[in-house]
């Protein structure tokens, strides 16, 4: 445990590792943070300095780092079976997980990938292939929302609307359609979130009227567009989208990769709209932040369209680690913790307990559009200059708080094991940072 160890890992990482989503040259001045170990909501460096993981390690961690219960489940599985090919073989964790996810979502036929982006690819390919198996070969186009994020492989990037990530690769991407975002911050003065959501949904209808025979699916991030900067919207939008997809014969893909597993307050965000999508994509929190795993669940009708004597009508898609037994076992333990610890109710109680603290932060003169949904808190910082996000990141880090603002949006998306006192401390730290004038 020393300053020297920190420096050494930092230097070796800079030389050997190409870090994600990063202009590496920036690390000439912005230090990489070497983490020696984790403990609950805390990440600890080689000097023993502690950072509260306010972004759940990129939205994946639910029950803390080095969680004893998660560790024990994975260790137990490790001694039985780490992995087996899933084509033509099966194992206990993948069967049990598929059954449980089916019960929770009302969809089934769990098809596994390793990362969120691969789940998006699977859903897009399945949707197109479904229509093709029904003789509707012209349905080849996809629709996503403005400011959407669905991952960064080429197919997923084509339905992602974040120019910083997609513009460079535009010549490689298949054109797809964008419809108006229901983000309530875009509402007109005096227009409520619900009225605006319904007005935004008119854009779907205009497109469907014009092009439904060419459209395979509409893909949405239910209730909150995470990468857009926690852009939250009214569930009426999802109900309207569901009705329009039914009316015009277009699939609805719910990308709950970030919002699933309790993040929005319900197990899955779609529940708050009372709708069932045709496909649901899950990843991130699915293993509690332990192992890469993603899954696409679909309706019986979708599955039936592939079930045939003809091999090519089947879904001939695979990843080497499909249905990895260790990852599935981690996911089963996550679901068991949700049940045993009544996690959703516990989170609701925490949100209530810190409501006054968040209100105090929301009232800060530099804060705009403060919002909360389940275990997500977000706001914009007024008068933020270019480069705000990295300055705020560094200032928060110096105070032992790991945050990654998106432009001038500061958000907190902590592991669910965070305590009320820790949440209060985070809000106090945020107020201190704003008072100090970090801009
Ligand atoms: C993170 C994310 C993805 C991509 O998941 P990866 O595991 O990073 O590939 C897709 N959709 C949404 C909504 C996400 O937040």
Q: What is the DSSP string of 59-92?
A: HT-SS-BT-HHHHHHHHHHHTT-S----SS---H
Supply the pLDDT for residue 329.
98
Q: Is 226 in the pocket of ligand 1 (CB under 6 A)?
A: yes
- CA angle, 269 then 375 then 60, to 5°: 80
- Chain centroid offset of residue 88 CA: 31
**Phi/psi of residue 417, nearest 5 degrees:** -80, 5
Q: Which atom of ligand 1 is nearest to the CA of 156?
A: 10
Written as six digits, the tokens of 63 are 């029950």
CA–centroid distance, residue 12 to ligand 1 (Å): 28
Residues 6+ apart with CB under 8 A from 318: 87
Looking up tokens 């419809």 gives 179
Residue 267's closest CA among 356, 339, 208, 340? 339
The pair of three-digit structure tokens given for residue 177, joined into one six-digit string: 């359609």
Q: Is 145 in the pocket of ligand 1 (CB under 6 A)?
A: no
pLDDT number for residue 154: 98
Best residue for ligand 1 mutational test, from 116, 159, 259, 264 (most atoms within 8 Å of Cβ): 116
- Longest distance between any two alpha carbons in the chain, whole Å: 68
Cβ-based burial of 61 (10 A; exposed 0-12, middle 13-18, buried ≥19): buried
Helix (H) or strand (E) holding 339: helix 325-340
Q: Is the CB of 115 under 6 A from ligand 1?
A: yes
Question: Does CATH number 3.40.640.10 belong to domain 70-341?
Answer: yes
Beta strands (DSSP E) in 382-437 are: 401-402, 409-412
Q: What is the distance in A from the centroid of ligand 1 to the CA of 219?
A: 13
Burial class (CB within 10 angstroms; exposed 0-12, middle 13-18, buried 19+) of 172: exposed
Given this chain, do its domains 4-66+342-436 and 70-341 carry the same CATH topology? no
In the chain, domain spans: 4-66+342-436, 70-341
* CA 284 / ligand 1 centre spacing (Å): 7
Please check if 201 is assigned to a binding site.
Answer: no
Of 131, 192, 129, which is closest to residue 155 (Cα–Cα)? 129
What's the Rg (C-alpha) of the chain?
Answer: 22
Whole-Å CA distances, 439 to 22, 364, 380: 21, 14, 11
Q: What is the pLDDT along the chain (439 residues), one digit of tens a residue?
A: 578 888 999 999 999 999 999 999 999 988 899 999 999 999 999 999 999 999 999 999 999 999 999 999 999 999 999 999 999 999 999 999 999 999 999 999 999 999 999 999 999 999 999 999 999 999 999 999 999 999 999 999 999 999 999 999 999 999 999 999 999 999 999 999 999 999 999 999 999 999 999 999 999 999 999 999 999 999 999 999 999 999 999 999 999 999 999 999 999 999 999 999 999 999 999 999 999 999 999 999 999 999 999 999 999 999 999 999 999 999 999 999 999 999 999 999 999 999 999 999 999 999 999 999 999 999 999 999 999 999 999 999 999 999 999 999 999 999 999 999 999 999 999 999 999 998 8
* 257 pocket-lining for ligand 1 (C-beta < 6 Å): yes
- Neighbouring-strand partners of residue 232: 224
Q: Which CATH class is domain 4-66+342-436?
A: alpha beta
**Cα distance between residue 36 and residue 288, in whole Å:** 19
Any idea which residue has 């974040």 for tokens? Answer: 162
Q: What is the DSSP string of 287-305?
A: GTTSS--EEEEE-HHHHHH
Quick check: CB of 40 below 6 Å from ligand 1?
A: no
Among 284, 293, 295, 406, name the best residue to mutate to test ligand 1's pocket (greatest count of ligand atoms within 8 A of Cβ): 284
Minimum CA distance residue for ligand 1 atom 12: 150
Query: What is the C-alpha to C-alpha distance for residues 149 and 228, in angstroms, rounded to an integer?
Result: 7
Ligand 1 centroid from CA 149, angstroms? 7
Q: Is 72 left (phi over 0), alpha (psi -120 to 50) or beta?
A: alpha
**Number of Cβ atoms within 10 Å of the Cβ of 249:** 15
User: Residues near 310 by Cβ (< 8 Å), separated by ≥ 6?
Assistant: none
């Amino acid at each position: 445990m020393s300053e020297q160890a920190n420096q050494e890992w930092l230097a070796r990482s800079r030389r050997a590792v190409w870090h994600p989503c990063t202009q590496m040259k920036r690390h000439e001045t912005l230090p990489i943070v070497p983490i020696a170990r984790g403990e609950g909501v805390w990440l600890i460096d080689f000097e023993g300095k502690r950072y509260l993981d306010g972004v759940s390690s990129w939205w994946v961690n639910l029950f803390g780092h080095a969680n004893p219960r998660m560790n024990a489940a994975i260790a137990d599985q490790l001694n039985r079976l780490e992995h087996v090919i899933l084509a033509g073989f099966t194992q206990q964790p993948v069967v049990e997980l598929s059954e449980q996810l089916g019960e929770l979502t009302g969809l089934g036929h769990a098809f596994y990938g390793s990362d969120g982006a691969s789940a998006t690819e699977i859903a897009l390919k399945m949707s197109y292939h479904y229509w093709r198996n029904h003789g509707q070969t012209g349905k080849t186009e996809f629709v996503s929302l403005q400011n959407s994020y669905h991952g960064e492989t080429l197919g997923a990037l084509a339905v992602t609307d974040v120019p910083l990530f997609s513009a460079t690769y535009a010549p490689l991407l298949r054109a797809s359609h964008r419809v108006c975002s229901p983000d309530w911050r875009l509402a007109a003065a005096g227009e409520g979130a619900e009225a605006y959501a319904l007005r935004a949904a008119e854009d779907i209808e205009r497109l469907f009227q014009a092009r439904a025979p060419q459209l395979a699916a509409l893909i949405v991030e239910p209730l909150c567009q995470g990468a857009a900067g926690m852009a939250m919207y009214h569930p009426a939008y999802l109900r309207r989208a569901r009705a329009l997809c039914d009316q015009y014969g277009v699939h609805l893909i719910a990308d709950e990769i970030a919002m699933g597993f309790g993040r929005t307050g319900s197990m899955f965000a779609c529940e708050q709209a009372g709708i069932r999508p045709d496909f649901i994509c899950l990843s991130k929190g699915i293993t509690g932040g332990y192992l890469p795993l993603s899954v696409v669940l679909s309706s019986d009708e979708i599955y039936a369209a592939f079930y045939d004597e003809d091999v090519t009508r089947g879904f001939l898609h695979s990843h080497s680690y499909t249905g990895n037994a260790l990852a599935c076992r981690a996911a089963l333990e996550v679901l068991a913790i949700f049940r045993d610890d009544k996690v959703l109710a516990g989170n609701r109680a925490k949100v209530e307990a810190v409501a006054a603290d968040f209100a105090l932060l929301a009232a800060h003169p530099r804060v705009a559009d403060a919002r909360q949904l389940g275990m997500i808190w977000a706001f914009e910082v007024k008068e933020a200059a270019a480069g705000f996000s990295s300055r705020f990141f560094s200032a928060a880090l110096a105070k032992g708080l790991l945050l990654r603002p998106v432009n001038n949006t500061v958000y907190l998306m902590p592991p669910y094991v965070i305590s009320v006192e820790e949440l209060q401390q985070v809000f106090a730290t945020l107020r201190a940072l704003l008072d100090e004038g970090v801009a």
